[in-house]
């Protein structure tokens, strides 16, 4: 199954979700309205809504609740991006100025909170306590991930476990929840819900590690933000953790700060790429991908299972 075929098959649902998103972010407060809609229109892969829709195909019930859940997950993701840009003082995302760049920190934080609130409002019509408990825990973990990221800025002494916990909270848990909620709302068998949960978790871990690799191997035009930006902002990712094992290179990395010149940073990026850190990180991502595919094997054979397999392979081998 090709990715284009998958996206075409859910195109009707995605169009409805786009409408829900746009309607949810409409407000008479002009600055808040413009800031929220700008982020919505800036693009994005809509990975989480697609995962929700496909996961819902494993269930017994088909209803519009799945669309609200899909929109909810995308809004939560959007809100977390707005907050991320404030924390990292990021001026660009997807080749466009961030809400932070255009409206400042205070308005960005309120915009993020506004989007979070709208996400929760969409869930009000869903009468399923398990779904609400899962979403509540997910938002809690996202917040803890934000705190972890702030705490660990320029902390080059953190360990592998800290990194894995942080990317779980920052990325994997939302992808995992997208898959599990799709199963819950469509009333899939509890065992299927569990398999969807862990498929999403492993896929999310692989996805974030690839994201961290691309920060070193891609360019600014492709990334939509400066290459090496994570390191410059003090976010210690897996390639950096591996490169720190080299004492000489490690000393150079430990001197990285937000005021470092572009030339000095580029020299360090070149050395990290030569150190084997990228290959090592790719290997760890591949391990998580294989765990995701193993979980997929436990799901019933149908077109949704094939779709998940295609998506997993595509995300694991993406260049942007």
The answer to whether residues 170 and 139 touch, using CB atoms and an 8 Å cutoff, is no
**Range from 34-38, 45-49, 122-126, 134-138 carrying the lowest mean pLDDT:** 34-38
Mean pLDDT of the chain, nearest integer: 91
What is the greatest pairwise CA distance in the chain?
A: 59
Q: Quick one: pLDDT band at residue 288, thresholds 50, 70, 90?
A: very high
**Range from 161-170, 231-240, 258-267, 270-279 carrying the lowest mean pLDDT:** 258-267
How far the first Cα of the chain sits from its last, in Å, is 21
The residue with greater pLDDT, 157 or 6, is 157
By three-state DSSP, how is residue 263 classified? helix
- Please identify which residue in the block is written with the tokens 């476990």: 161
Which among 69, 104, 280 has a CA at the least distance from the CA of 177?
69
Q: Quick one: pLDDT band at residue 268, thresholds 50, 70, 90?
A: very high
Q: What is the pTM of this model?
A: 0.92
By three-state DSSP, how is residue 135 classified? helix
Per-residue confidence (pLDDT) for residue 225, from 0 to 100: 67
Provide DSSP, 71-112: HHHHHHHHHHHHHHHHHHT--EETTEE-HHHHHHHHHHHHHH
Domains and CATH numbers, the chain: 3-316 (1.10.600.10)
Q: How far is 149 from 153, CA to CA, in rounded Å?
A: 6
Question: Is the confidence at residue 184, as pLDDT, over 80?
Answer: yes
Question: Is the confidence at residue 183, as pLDDT, over 70?
Answer: yes
Which among 12, 19, 8, 47 has a CA at the least distance from the CA of 179?
47
Q: How far is 182 from 14, CA to CA, in rounded Å?
A: 14
- Encode burial over 159-170: b for 16+ CB neighbours within 10 A, e otherwise: eeebbbebbbbb
């Amino acid at each position: 199954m090709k990715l284009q075929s998958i996206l075409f098959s859910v195109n009707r649902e995605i169009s409805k979700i786009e409408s829900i998103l746009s309607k949810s972010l409409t407000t008479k407060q002009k600055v808040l309205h413009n800031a929220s809609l700008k982020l919505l229109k800036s693009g994005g892969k809509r990975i989480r809504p697609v995962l929700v829709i496909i996961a819902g195909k494993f269930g017994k019930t088909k209803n519009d609740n799945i669309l609200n859940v899909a929109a909810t997950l995308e809004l939560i993701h959007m809100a977390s991006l707005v907050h991320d840009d404030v924390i990292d003082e990021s001026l660009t995302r997807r080749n466009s100025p961030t809400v932070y760049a255009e409206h400042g920190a205070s308005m960005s934080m309120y915009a993020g909170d506004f989007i979070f609130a709208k996400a929760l409002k969409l869930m009000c019509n869903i009468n399923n306590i398990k779904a609400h408990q899962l979403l509540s825990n997910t938002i809690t973990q996202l917040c803890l991930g934000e705190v972890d990221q702030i705490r660990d800025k320029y902390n080059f002494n953190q360990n592998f476990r800290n990194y894995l916990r942080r990317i779980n909270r920052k990325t994997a848990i939302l992808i995992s929840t997208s898959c599990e909620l799709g199963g819950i709302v469509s009333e899939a068998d509890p065992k299927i819900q569990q398999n969807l949960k862990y498929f999403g978790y492993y896929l999310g871990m692989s996805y974030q590690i690839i994201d961290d690799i691309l920060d070193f191997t891609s360019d600014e035009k492709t990334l939509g933000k400066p290459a090496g930006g994570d390191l410059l902002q003090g976010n210690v990712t897996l390639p950096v953790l591996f490169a720190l094992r080299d004492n000489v290179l490690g000393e150079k990395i430990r001197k990285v700060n937000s005021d470092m010149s572009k030339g000095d940073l580029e020299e360090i990026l070149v050395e990290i790429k030569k150190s084997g850190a990228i290959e090592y990180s790719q290997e760890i991502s591949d391990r998580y991908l294989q765990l995701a595919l193993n979980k997929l094997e436990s799901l019933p054979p149908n077109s949704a299972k094939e779709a998940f397999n295609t998506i997993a392979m595509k995300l694991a081998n993406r260049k942007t």
